[in-house]
Structure formats: structure tokens, C-alpha cells
Structure 1
């Protein structure tokens, strides 16, 4: 065995297993299986032109060398990004721990109670610090969160405002530049009219439905917005505030002066800068908007025994349910980062946060005092961490950069300086010395921080926060380490067993891909530093974009979208811009097959398009006749087709080229959803099938971990005609010649985790990537054959093959009283996370094993499914007290003195011999979803009292 070949470590199937698997599937070799699965006319004729595969050792040395090309200056740019100190206990036990980073979105609550508790802590911190009633479990970044606020307030306009066509949204000129760019992107297709101006001069006329303020302002001034908000209320104008979460420790929370929404980022709660991300944004609002809030909400409910349990609440409002009626296409959150930020709050507690925030403010006050002693004028009258100085930028900048220091140069005589948690007295003296040298003066050394504040009494926080027990219990490393471990033990992640989620591709997230994320040379780079200071990043991002373009067959790639749903939206906005450039702005019809992902129709509506659904035939394929009829009908207005390939039904449809040609013949462009690229890489590609743009889920095909529901990255790859329209950034130039405005806050989105996908491609190389795809297809077909006769596979290709995933039909079991949910919950007793449930067809499961799983794990899964099938046969609709209906079984119920079930404890908890070797215990019994929605509680403060009342 070649121990230095990464493909052998990534791919689970051994060479010696291949023959028996191929035999089971009924083919002579792997190539025959691929021939029978993928239509020959779309197969690639040449191998991908990629670099030869690196060994893991070489890759780590390579990334270490590249990291040294990044210049890690002391950076005081601010603009929503600040260096933060990551507690080592959190870095080691969460960021570097596969028990946390390989988990899936907590759709199966019973085996995700640890993550759900960590997210409830996050929501509670956000609610407490913002002074709002309700917070979600994170969004992608501050700018996209602000855009979500704008659209949510648009959606909840009063009846009169909607009737009178009120569409104006006021944006303070104090807003962050990247946020303004993103608001322009999102407002345009929805017909929202942005009005940018000075909040002190705002005329509260009836043409406005909402307003957005920055708190503190982009260059540090803290305003008292209470008068503005009161006047807005009088005029039925709702107000959102983009707030710095650390400043809210000392400033009056926006909720206390009556705002409707508060958004921001928790990056400065122990999250690396990472050249722009990933970071967990927050979104807090009033309870009256609970059914309109974007993203996920974690809520309290009870389990079968009436004990407290957590789950994702109010899911019926989300895009995967509402589809084209959704007001947001939010899919990926930033769970891993939200967990880290929440743990930062748990570790430091309210007193620790107050110490940190007060020290940051004292640092800014001391700096102001020293600079004023040099004769400089500081503009901000009230500030938290950012000061704005009148000084000659031409003189200061070369001295600062020679000393490896970055400021933000507002104009030729105005410089903004944002200090942070990591700024020391030594750093302060360096800043002072830079300005003294520019002035030709001698500076006095600062030896201690001034004990004064720059926050006037009228905007100072007086209310308490984070008083509940969890924030006042774990302040030593031992305590926090054990608390993190306690939560981790409640979650089933990839480090325990296969997670065979169709459409979600839960593959190995290799340690060598993850290790560079811990390096300060990658972590401590601000997204708005001059590009020559991020040379290591630039090499990796350009190379990754080039490789993704090669893999997809397209001309260029934008890495900016920081989730798959953002990628969908970006692709459609680029198509929109293309049509407008040709004088065809009337093209606004988007054809979407009925089998599409829930985010597809939501994305199309957000991009200002009208959704027309096309039919699928009895085999689950796109109904070509229906598609052609609708393309003809809407020929003059056809903008795009959104298609997933292979289909959401797990089939390579042979008519795909005919389908894309129909769209092109009627003037439209083809967007391909890249959710299923794990079945394409090296064998076919979006360009070959006739697509014009695709997004890629780097957190699926390209190995970025799901992290319990994020981070995700959703770059778009485009054909030559769409290259000019790739998205831009207002601070650092990026994108095409006729670039659309920003899709996410940072120029290259979540750059830090792009290192993972870069490593995945570089260590596998062309042969490893192509072989991975083949093995993913083999593993799926192996499971399909092993389960045939026990479960019906709903759809297959023309030669009876599945792609990399398949749908098992569980609807016939209703006659036994068994629903698909019962099967999902029972799998937990066997130590497995359920496959994707009831998507894209209700009453089914969709299974995707990926290439990372070995034969023994595939066999264990098949054995579990076969055993469950036997249990279904034993069940009766007349007797609901059975092992499936009562699943999952907890340790507590299995060890209790009473056992009132018609089956044994062993059958309940150890149904097969392998389970005893590595038992995973669900920590709660089946949760009551409806109860949690009727009694919505989304913070951890009132749980105990709430449950006692019950």
C-alpha cells in the first residue's frame, strides 16, 4: 500500500473489496458501471488538466510555505472586522474537533441535543445583548443579515403600505460600505428603492417602510438613535440596526430604544478574521415577526416522557417548505462559528465580556488622548473602539506600512483606527510613534490605560445581561472542556458512523485539509488589507478558482458566495445582468422542474424572476414535452432554467442536452444546481451538458465540513458570456468588467475554509478526484442492490442504475402503521443518522453513502436497514406500541425499573451485535415538534421555570 497517496486515505473502498462489490452490483468492472450510469454522449473524452496529486506531508509543507507569503500586520481597519483572541480551549475542543465540525444540520433533534444547546446559548447571548425578544441561530455575515432585515421588513409592511406601493428604504450613510453594496444587489430585483442619507436630516414621509442604521457608525461615532426611532414609529416606519455585538456590552441595546430588528456579526467573539470568513452573523427581532424571521431558530419543546428537549422551531416558514412563496432562500447557517461564539460567551460570562469591552474602550480613549497630545484632532465625540483622526494620509501610510501596521484611510486627511481585544499597550505606543514620526514630533510613552470612558451616560448600558446559570458556571478551562465534552456526547457526527444523507454528501473532512485553519498566518488576515499583504491567500484563491473552472468546464469562477443558496442567487443575478446588457431586461421567467431543491424557487423570486414549474414524468425525469411547451409559451420572456444534475431523484437524465438546447433556442440561460457534483467530477461536467452557470457546494463535493449546518461555500462557475458580470466588492476590487454589486460582505467570501477545498483537489489530483466519483457511484449502487427486495428504489436510470444517491420508497409501510419518520428515529438505535427524509418525495428516504465509507460500514448500514424492514413486517397499524413507534430508545428508559413494552430491552437498544461494540445513546426520546411551535421559547433563561410550570 502506498502510504503517501492521499486517495487511499480519502477513499474508503480497498482494492481487494472491489471485485466482490462489482459482483454484487452485477458488472465486470468499474468502467462498465459508469457506462451504465452516465449517458455516453456527456462523458468527458480527456482527463481533467489538474496538477499531479500531492502527498499529505507535501501539502502541509506547501500551505505552511504559502502562509508565510501573507504579511500579518497589526491591523486597525475595522469596518466590521476585528482581531479576536480565540480561547485555546475552544479552538482545540470545537474548531479542531471532528465531533463538532463533521456534524450535520440538526434536523434529527434526538441525536443533536448538544449542538442545539450550544445554539440556544448563542441565541440567548444575542437576545440579551441586543435587547430583543427573539434571535435566530446565525446567518452568513453582517451584510447579508442586513439585507435579510430589509427584505423581512418589506414583507411585513402594513396593508396600507402594500396597497399604496410604499417601497422606499432609508439607509444611513454611516452603514458599512460592503453592506450598502449588498443592499443594492438585493433591493434591485425586488423593486425596493434605497435612499441613502444622513439620519439627522431624514424626512419621515409616508413613502418609506423601513430604515437601517449603523451602531456605532462605520468610522466609530456612536449616535443616540432613540429620537429617530420614536419618530419613525409615529410614521409607521420600521427600523433595523446593524450593531457591533461587543459594543452592546457597554452601549444601550437597540431593543431598549424600540427598534424592530438588530443584525451584526459575532466574529469578534473568538472567531479568526480568516480574510473574510466564515463568521456567524446574528439576526434578532420582536416575537411578532417569529414567522417571518429568516434562517433557523432553536426552540424548547418536550419529548415523549414530557422532559425538556430542543429542536429547530417553526420550520414551516422556511424556504424548503414555502418554496417560491419564501421571502428568503437561506439554507446554510454558520453553526460551527455560532457554537464557537456562544462558547466564547459561556467561557467569559457577563463579567468577562464587560472586562474585555471596557478594556477595548479604554484603549481607544487612551489612544485618543495621546494623539490629541500630539496636536491631532479626533472627530468622534462618542465612540466605543474606533476613532477618526485628521492627519495627512500620504505621510502616515508609508510610515505605518513600514512598521507593518494597517489603518483605514478614509480620504487624504482622515484616518480611521479601530482597536480591538488583541491591542496591547505596546501596540498603542507603536501607533502613537507612527503619528509622531509623520508629524516630526517626539511622543510620550503610554504605560497604562486611562480609567475613563468615551460613552456618554445617555447611551450607556444600564441593563444586566447573560444572568442565567450557563454563563456563570464554566470560567475555568477544566469546567469549559467538560461542558463542551458533555454536549459533544449528545451529538452523532461523522466520527461515530456514516451519515448517508442524499443531496448532502457527508464525506471525509481530512485532518490534513483542516490543519492549516489553525495557523495565525491564515487566521489573522483582515479581508480589506492591501492585496499584496495577502499573497498566500491570493495564490490559493486564484488556483482554487482555476481548478474549479477546469472541473466544471467553465471560463471563470467567483468564490464570493458564502453558501449554496447564495451561489444560486449569484448565478441568477449574473444571468439577469447578462440579459440586461443585451437590452432584454424583460426576460424574467425562470423554469424550474417540480423536483427541484426548495431553495431554487426561493432564489429565483429573490432575483426578481417569476417561477414557472415544469412537470416530471412517471420515472421522475424532467418531462421534456412539458418543458418545451412552456419554453415556447414564454419564449420572449424566458430568462433561465434551473436544473439539478444528476437529478434530485439520483438519475443522470439522458435528455439533458436536449433540455439545455431548448432553453438556449428560446433565448434563456441554463443554471445548473451543483448539489450533485459528487457524481460528475472527472466524468462529465456542467459545460458539457450545456449549462451556462453552476454553483458548487464546497461543503458537499469539495470536503468543507458541514459543521452542524455551516460553514458552507457556494462559488459560481460561469461560461465566457457571463464572466463580465461576476460579483464585485466596494473596498477591494474583484469581479468582472461589468460586475454586479456584492453577494456577500467579503471580497472572496469565506476565504479561510477555501483552504480545505484547495487541499482536497491538490491532494487527490485528477486521478483521485475521478476515482472518488466512480467509487461514490459504486457505493450507492452497492447499497441499492443489497436493499433490493426489502425496499423499493423509486427512480433509476435507463439501465437500472442509481447515480451517487437513491430514493427508497417507504410509503407502502403505512399499511403497517409505520411512517418514514419512524424509520428515521429507529436508525438512531442502530447508531446511524437517518438519510434525507421526505425530500424530494414525501414518505421516502434519500441515501448517499459517498466515496469515503468502507465496505464494512456500508454492510453495517445495509444490515441495520434490513433489520428495520423485518421490524416493519412485525408491526401492525392496530398496535402502535412497537419498537419503531417508540424509537429512539434512551439509556434512561432502557435502565428504568419499569418496562411496559411488548419487546425486550435488548431489542430496543442493541438490535444487532455490532451495536454493542460502539453504542450511541440518543439523549432524549422523540421530540414533540408541534408542542414546541405552539409554545415558542428560544432562549435558555426560562427553561427550568417553564418546565416546572408544565
Structure 2
């Protein structure tokens, strides 16, 4: 009986594993049979070099059921104390409209989509991002906006980089930051400047003109709440041929004159308070706008309006679509992940409330600040400033008593400066809250009536915003911001956009290197729990005990999985993890008196973010050749390591290789670098082929970033959020990022931050925590093994029809394969782009196209896809091969075939004219399985060249909608 019970419990424990892993045991057996192996282990033995296979299993524990996991995590979350937050400093409580919470944040149709590199099947989120850009342009008063950056502080660092690129003060090497900019922003910008070799000057805003600078950064309103007319400051900076950057509060811009109207060259900030929870620091979308003259230097992604093949308006990513891969070390930035999901939430918030609704929210916030200020001044309380939008800074000789009373009532103030504390009111503040604030500050029995003070403020008017800074122009006039204010209309608008996008809830997204795997519902549930969603990142640590428990457990598991000694969870994208890892290497060398070590070796096959990140760390890049099999050319590596030996800092290498194989020489590569005094940075993009089978630390590397939005199941969100923590060996641990507001244990005091919040995008860490918990040691290894099984089965079947470019030992691949379309292209004229677009007619997102080799498709099925879905993809590829052969045979001409006209929309297929060499029905339903669940692209092939030559990056004019 006990044995039966134990077996039943074991089956329950493993229930999540079998649900995460797509193929059933019978399907696994069929795939192994096709591969002519008797077991999964035999395939692993044939594929992964024995020298790097782990000798001991992982020790993250046994898998837990979904119920057990969520129950335990809820008990951990309950240890967080969700106080009322008036801390401000760039983070504010907000009311997430429930129609957005349920239908966007909690909807896999929005959170499982990939970056819109295939725009024909991404028109929904592209429209939403265009709304975000339009909102940014209207509120900032500038010409050109991006589709979001990682957070406000990193956006400020990007602004500094832009300023250096475009400033005409070419001899200047200093960047000025006003001392009333948010502390975390000064921290992140200073870290970036140190890597670039720039001087940072922090001082009174008015002193900016007294220095030889290439740019300056001001906060509007200031971190302590003052609303200052910075027109003259901006003009003064510009008189020195420097670039004036302004970090602005997005809600205040409903009432304050746009910084662009004050003359600013760059305006940036966080969109968090537009309906995105604080989440202990993120993820949050940053907005960024600049002048049209600087468009070629703008970091990040821009959504532009173009035309499709039929002349219809169509949206696409403009200019910087894959900038890192194209320009590499010449890229403007290493940014590869935006914050699309969060930018979409902010944009929908603006759409739902509309200009008048947003203005009402902003006016209410400001009125409560006025009421609070009026009452305090009536009682003799001294305020630091006479102007404000939402934040009051109080000069106090009993600060400790007041803040102690606040804590006792479950309230947090900002207490950064001696003898001062600040209170930032928000959208969630009520009249009862104002009464409570009076009680805390003045003591009970103060006799103040909120209603009476409100009436007095209303009668006498407010002068807390200077008359010269009151906004007098209309914003958000486009119909998208004035049409969807009922929940019914809003729900249908969100659904209409969602229906235009292909996401993981529709079909396999087989992008090589991007690991589009299951993001299980149980993993997603905790991110909206109030205990995780509603904490301010700078709240006292004893209020975040639950977060600390969860973070520490995740840290320890990632240490075990990676074979490293310590992990920093601060970087909030993979590229930012690369940057943080390279900083750790630089600081390590400097600590040993080897500051001259600045050469980074990078194989020619590397991800484009590698050279871009190395450039951001001011390293000199030396490219190492690859051989005809895609492996690192060992002779070239040895020669170049020898040549730069005295100055060698590190190598950046991806494992398994970017070509999808386990290179046999990886340990030798590590040894060569170490022999010459360098460090090994192993790109974690392909960790899905390592977990439980090998590890970067065991192989011999010193530092890696991990894409939690790939291997560890945080969804891609349509192009972000991401999390890119770094794991390091013990000698690099002291040099990981710290934070100027909240100290991060285990790293040197004084180490700069790379993200605005101490734990980066903390709110989505429960996703990876839950994945590891529910998979356990056994399940994590099985996931890796099944990724290898699926990839090799796919490779085996496709190889019957297409050449496979690279293979490793025993003719096997790792977790992805590269299909070479160049021979077919040479015979037919059909390009890899044509194949990618035709796959959309079959209901699939294209694999990674022309990377790492032009003219190829890189395909990664992941462990979450069943054999049935993989077979459906194979069927599509084989059918497309047949179509290409008809072009080769002359049955179809190169100008008239379904591939060059792909994708086909409903309007295209049902149009009056059809002068094609193929049937309408075949255009839309090329194989029977497509008819069962047809996904219709909403636009035909988009003209990229037209879009770049006619750059339009805001919502089209009203006339377009009338047409």
C-alpha cells in the first residue's frame, strides 16, 4: 500500500514535467526510432562531448506540483508587507485598469508573442507601440520617439551616449547631471560613463553652464518635487554646443509644459505610472524622444508606417530592426530587448482614459498635493519648495519621530536626506489617505479638515505650478486616444489588435537562439499578486522579506545550475547582462593592476550584442575566425591570443555555438584564454542545451549571462520584458553590480548599478522561480534532453529535403539547426525572405532568418513542442520546397508564384483581380491542416525601403482613417 502511495505521489510530483515537455512517451519513442537510437541517453552520448557532461546531478530539489508550488510561494509572498507608498523617486502606486490587467498582462496572446521582426503577423502590437510613440511625442513635445527602453535610468545613460555622438562640442569629455536627478539615475549614468571614459560632473543645475560638457541631464520635476522652468538652463547648455537631456515624470506632463517646448533635445522617463505595477522595481517601459535630426543616433527600436504590396498602410520596425547584428561594434547601443509588454500596457492605459481622463487623474494628484501642502503650512510645517506637481519635501527637526509613526501605520516616506523627508501622492491616494498623512505628521487632534482645505484651495486657486509652465496645448488628439473609453469598446479594441498577431498560443515559433518555449500559466499567476506587484523597490528591506526569500532561493538554484559561485539578478535584459559581466571582468583586471587589459576576442559567428556590449565596455574587439564547420578556428584563436596576450581581457563565446553544435574544443578554448591571463565570458543564449547536462562553470568559463526570458520561461512579451542575470566565479563576485539606494549583499560597496532597481525586473522573477521549482533537478535535465531530441528529429526529417549547414559529433546538432537555402536560391531566385513570408500562410512564424549565416533559416523547436506540431512544421517546409521546385522547373515564373506574393491576406485572396499562376484556395490553404485553424496575416508583404525613406513614427493622420 505504501509503495503504491509513494508511486502515486511521485507521479503527481512529475505531473508538471510531462505537461511542460511536449512529446508524449510514444512520440519520443517514434523520434528516437527515426534517429536510430534506443534511448534518450544514447542520443545525448552521441551529441554532448563526454568531457563536459556533469558528473553529479543538479541539486535544486524534487519537482513540486503546481498546487504545492503556488501554495508555498503564496506563503513566501505573504511575508512582504505592502505599505502605502509615498516614496516616489520614479516609482508610484497605480491603478491597473482591469480590462488591461486581464486582457493584456494576463493574456498569452499578448505575453507570448515574439519581437515583431516579421511585421505582417505582428500588426496588432505594432499599432499599440505606435500608440506608445505617439503618446510619447505628444507629451514630450519632440519629433521622434522610440518604442520603449529598459527603464528610466538606463534611458538616461542612453541619452548620454546619444549626446556624445551628436554634440558639436567634440573636444568635451564631461557630462553634467543635476544633483536633483533621481539617485538611481545618477548611479546608472555614472557607471556607463566610467566604461566610456567620460567624466561625470554632479552639481546644482544652474552650474551646468560653468563646465566644458557635451551634454547635461535635468529632472522635471526634480526628485524632491520642485517644478522649475528649465528653459534658460537648456539654452545655456545648448550655447556650449552641448545636448540638453530632460528626465520627466510622465503624469506631470499632462499639466506641465512639454520639455520639448522648453527647448530640450532629449526627453526620457518611465511610463510606469501609466497603469503598470511598481513590482519591486520592474519591469517598466521607459519612453525616449529626441529631435528628428538625431534619428540615426536614437537607441532602441522605432515603429514606422510603411506600405504593403497592395499599397495599404502597414507598420514595421524602422531603421534599427536588427542593428546589433548589422552594425555590431558600430551599433548605437547594445540594446536588444525593449519593454514591449509594459509599453503596450502604458499605451492602452492612455487609450482607455483618453486625454481628458488622463488630465483628470493628473489634476486629482496635483490637487491632493496642494491640499496636503496647504494643511501642513497652516500648521507651521516648513516645505523645501514653493512649487510641486505631486511631491512635497518637508524640512523637519523631528523627522525620525514622523517616519516612525508612518511605519507604525503602514506608510512609507522617502527619507534620503538629513532633516528632510518627501511625500509623493499618486493616482491611488484618497481623501482618507490625506487625513491619515495629517495624523502622522502633525499628530492626532490637529483639527484639519480635508474638505475645508480642499474648498479653500479651490476658491483661492493653485500657484504650485508656475503660470509659465502650465500646459496650454492639446495632447492625444488622435482617434485611437478618443474612441475606446467604455470597457466594451476597449475590450474589443484590445481583442482586435491581438487577433492580428501570431503568438505561442497559436502555433510553434521556431526561432533559433530565441527559445520560444512554454510559459506555463502556473508560472505567470504570481506576478499579479499584490504582495509582489505593489512593493516599491526602495521600501525598507524588512518589508520585502518574501521577495528576499524568493530571490535568494532563485539565486542559489541558478548557482547550482550554472556551476558558478554567485549570481546578480540586477540586469534586466540579456544584453545588459553581457554589459554587467564585462564590467566585472574590467574591474577584476583593474583590482590586479591590469587595467591595460582591454582586448576582447569575439568569434565571427557571435551574436551581434557581443561586440556591441564589448564596445560599451570600451574594449578593443579582435575577431576570431570560424572554420568551414562553424567552429572556432583554433589556429587563429591561438595566434590572436598570443598576439594580444599582454592586453587580453577576455573572450566572448556562445555555447553550444551560434551554429547549434557542441564544439569539441570548448575546454581548450577556455584554457588558452586563461593561459594568457584573460577571462572567459560565455554567452548564455543557448543555456537551454546545457541545463542539467553540463554548465558554463563546469566547462571552465568565468562569467555568463542567463536569458531568463528564454531558458527559464519568462515570456518574450512581444519583444520584452527580459531578464539577464549574470553568474560568476568567486573571483569576479565582488565586482558585480551594486546599488546606491539599496545595498546588494555580496558585492563591493561603490560598485555602480546597471539598472534603476537593485534587483532589476524583480516582479517577473517568480516566473523562473516557479519553473525551476515545478521542474526540479530531474525535470530541468529532461527539458534539455528533449530540446536535443526534438532538434535532432527536426534536423533528420528536414535533411531529406534541405541541406543542413552545420553538424557536430556523430552528425548530430544541439538544440537548433541551420537550413541552408542558398542552393535553392541560386537555382530558383527564391530567397530566404520569400520562404519566411510563405511560412506565414501555413500559420507559422518564420525561424531566425539569415543569422548567423546569410541565406539560411535557424530553427529551434524547444522541448515544449509535441512531435505533432514539429511534423506540421516539417510538412510546411516540405510543401514550400515543392513550390520552389515548380519555380525551378518553369511551371511558375519567378515573378508569379505563391512565394513572392506571400503572405496572402483575406483581402488579397478574395479580391476582384487574380492574375496569378496558382489557385486562390491554394494560396491560403496550401495543405489540409492549415484549414483547421487558419491564421490570416492582416497585411501583405511590407515594403521596408519605402518605410525607411518615408519615416513616419506616429499614428497616421485622421484622414487616413477616413480613407
CA shift for structure 1 position 201: 3.0
Give 2:137's match in structure 1, choosing from 118, 127, 145: 127
Q: Is residue 136–residue 282 contact of structure 1 (8 Å, CA) maintained in 2?
A: yes
Query: For residues 176 and 228 of structure 1, what CA distance do their matches in structure 2 show?
Result: 18
What is the aligned partner in structure 1 of residue 207 from structure 2? 201
Indicate how the Cα distance of structure 1 residues 893 and 3 shifts in structure 2: closer, same or farther if over 3 A, else same: farther
* Structure 2 residue 48 is matched with structure 1 residue 43: no
Deviation, 1:612, is 0.3
Q: Which residue of 2 aligns with 1:507?
A: 517
Q: Determine if the alignment matches structure 1 residue 896 to structure 2 residue 896.
A: no
SS of equivalent to 2:590: helix
Structure 1 residue aligned with 2:836: 824
Give the drift of 1:410. Answer: 2.9
- What is the Cα-based RMSD across aligned positions, in Å? 1.3
- Structure 2 residue aligned with 1:778, among 789, 806, 822? 789
Q: Are 2:442 and 1:436 equivalent residues in the alignment?
A: yes
Q: Which of 766, 771, 785 pairs up with 2:777?
A: 766
**CA displacement 1:382-421 (0-9 Å, x = unmatched):** 1100000112221112111010000011334211100100
Do residues 519 (structure 1) and 529 (structure 2) align?
yes
Q: CA deviation at 1:889?
A: 0.5
1:386 to 364, 382, 391: 391
1:245 aligns with 2:250: yes
Q: Which residue of 2 aligns with 1:838?
A: 850
1:446 aligns with 2:445: no
- Corresponding residue for 1:273? 278
Distance, in Å, in 2 between the alignment partners of 1:714 and 1:385 is 34
1:888 and 1:305 mapped to 2: Cα distance? Answer: 12
- Give the corresponding residue for 1:351: 356
Distance 1:581 1:297 in 2: 40
Cα distance in 1 for partners of 2:655, 2:416 equals 47
Equivalent in the alignment of 2:225: 220
Return the offset for 1:447. Answer: 2.9
The separation in 1 between residues aligned to 2:47 and 2:143, in whole angstroms, is 52
| CA spacing shift, 1:317–1:16, aligned 2, 3 Å | closer
Further displaced range: 53-62 or 825-834: 53-62
- Contact 2:174–2:214 under 8 Å retained in 1: yes
How far the C-alpha of 1:229 sits from its partner, in A, is 1.3
Deviation of 1:738 (Å): 2.4
Output aligned runs, 1:563-602, within 5 Å.
Answer: 563-602=573-612
Asked if 1:540 is matched to 2:544, the reply is no
Q: CA deviation at 1:517?
A: 1.2
- 1:83 is paired with a residue whose SS is coil
**Pairwise mapping of residues 317-396 of structure 1 onto structure 2 (< 5 A)?**
318-391=323-396, 392-396=398-402
TM-score (norm 1): 0.98
Preserved contact between residue 301 and residue 321 of structure 2 (Cα < 8 Å): no
Aligned to 1:701: 711
Contact 1:727 1:735 in 2 (8 A): no
Residues in 1 aligned to 2:238 and 2:89: alpha-carbon distance in whole angstroms = 29
> Is this contact kept in 2: 1:503–1:648, CA < 8 A?
yes
Deviations 1:812-844 (A, max 9, x none): 122201000000000000000000001111110
Unaligned residue ranges in structure 2 (runs of 5+): 1-7
Correspondence for 1:757? 768
Superposition deviation, residue 191 in structure 1: 1.6
Matched, 1:800 2:800: no
Q: In 1, distance between residues paired with 2:786 and 2:960?
A: 52
Q: Secondary structure at the match of 2:857?
A: strand
Which residue of 2 is the match for residue 873 of structure 1? 885
Query: Does residue 89 in structure 1 map to residue 94 in structure 2?
Result: no
User: In the aligned structure 2, how far is the partner of 1:185 from the partner of 1:273?
Assistant: 24
- Structure 1 residues 859-868 or 313-322, which shifts more? 313-322
Q: What is the DSSP-based 3-state SS (H/G/I as helix, E as strand, rest coil) of the residue aligned with 2:138?
A: helix
Counterpart of 1:98 in structure 2 is: 108
Aligned partners of 2:12 and 2:65 also within 8 Å: no
Matched, 1:852 2:867: no
- Contact kept, 8 Å, 2:22 with 2:864, in 1: the verdict is yes
**Counterpart mapping for 1:582-731 below 5 A:** 582-731=592-741
Deviations 1:634-654 (A, max 9, x none): 011000000000000001001
2:927 aligned partner: 912
CA distance in 2, matches of 1:755, 1:542: 12
Q: Distance in 2 between matches of 1:155 and 1:316?
A: 20
Q: Give the conservation status (yes or no) of the 8 Å contact 2:209–2:236.
A: no
- 1:321 shift after superposition: 1.1
Tell me how far apart the structure 2 counterparts of residues 565 and 410 of structure 1 sit (CA, whole Å): 31
Q: Matches of 1:3 and 1:127 in 2, distance apart?
A: 53
Distance in 2, matches of 1:84 and 1:905, equals: 50
* Further displaced range: 113-122 or 453-462: 453-462
1:877-911 Cα deviation digits (max 9, x unpaired): 85311010000000111112321111001210001
Q: CA deviation at 1:378?
A: 1.1
SS in 1 for 2:830: coil
Separation in 1 of the partners of 2:137 and 2:375?
A: 37
> Number of matched residues?
941
Q: CA 1:317–1:65 in structure 2 vs 1: closer, same or farther (change >3 Å)?
A: closer
Residue segments in structure 1 that go unaligned for 5+ positions in a row: none
What's the CA shift string for 1:606-647, capped at 9, x where partnerless? 001000000000100001110111111001100000000000
* Offset at residue 946 of structure 1 (A): 10
Q: Secondary structure at the match of 1:305?
A: coil
1:231 deviates by 2.1
**2:3 match:** none
Which of 223-232 and 509-518 deviates more? 223-232
* In structure 2, distance between residues paired with 1:195 and 1:533: 35
Shift in alpha-carbon separation, 1:708–1:386, aligned structure 2, 3 A: same
TM-score normalized with structure 2 length: 0.96
Match of 1:461 in 2: 471
Question: How far apart in 2 are the matches of 1:379 and 1:324?
Answer: 46
CA-CA distance at 1:375 after TM superposition: 1.7
CA deviations over 1:500-527 (Å, ceiling 9, x no partner): 1000000000000001112111110000
| Cα deviation, residue 737, structure 1 | 4.0
SS at match of 1:764: helix
Q: 1:222 to 1:598 in 2, by over 3 A?
A: same
SS in 1 for 2:126: helix
Tell me if the contact between 1:294 and 1:318 (Cα under 8 Å) persists in the aligned partners.
no
2: distance between equivalents of 1:154 and 1:373? Answer: 48
Cα offset for 1:945?
Answer: 4.7
Deviation of the 1:381 alpha carbon? 1.4
Q: Distance in 1 between matches of 2:252 and 2:836?
A: 44
SS of 2:267's equivalent?
A: strand
Q: Answer whether contact 1:436 1:443 (CA < 8 A) is retained.
A: no
Correspondence for 1:419 among 425, 439, 449: 425
Deviation at 1:791, TM superposition (A): 0.8
Looking at structure 1, the residues matched to 948 and 936 of structure 2 have their Cα atoms a distance apart, in angstroms, of: 26
Tell me, what secondary structure is at the counterpart of 1:640?
strand
Q: State how far apart, in whole Å, the 1-side matches of 2:561 and 2:450 are.
A: 56
